[in-house]
Amino acid sequence: MYVKPNSKEFKIITDNNEFIVFCRENPEKGKVNKELIKELSRLFHKKVEIAAGFTSKQKKILVKDVSEEEIMKHVTKTD
């Protein structure tokens, strides 16, 4: 998953089988990570954790007990 901070709105797209998440927050003091966890938890109604990439734009996210179908309902495809 690739994260783009300073976006106008929070949204998730997929491009060439990679998830791109647009976050509204600035990349300082963990604000983007907090927004990412909050928004994904709200979307999926599940516990969300950042598994890797705390200080990187490239992140690995763990969403427990969620199906691929449920994830794809919230993603805009661009390919």
Tokens representing 49 are 């954790």
Which listed CATH number (3.40.50.2000, 3.40.630.30, 3.40.50.10490, 3.30.1200.10) goes with 2-77? 3.30.1200.10
The answer to whether 74 and 43 have CB atoms below 8 angstroms apart is yes
Per-residue pLDDT tens for 6-44?
999 999 998 888 899 999 999 999 999 999 999 999 988
Q: The tokens of 56 are what?
A: 């990187």
Who has greater pLDDT, 68 or 42? 42
HEC string of 14-56? EECCEEEEECCCCCCCCHHHHHHHHHHHHHHCCCEEEEECCCC
Domains of the chain by residue range: 2-77
Cβ count within 10 A of residue 23: 21
Strand 76-77 relative to strand 18-22: parallel, antiparallel, unpaired? Answer: unpaired
- Give residue 79's pLDDT: 56
The CA distance from 10 to 24, in Å, is 6
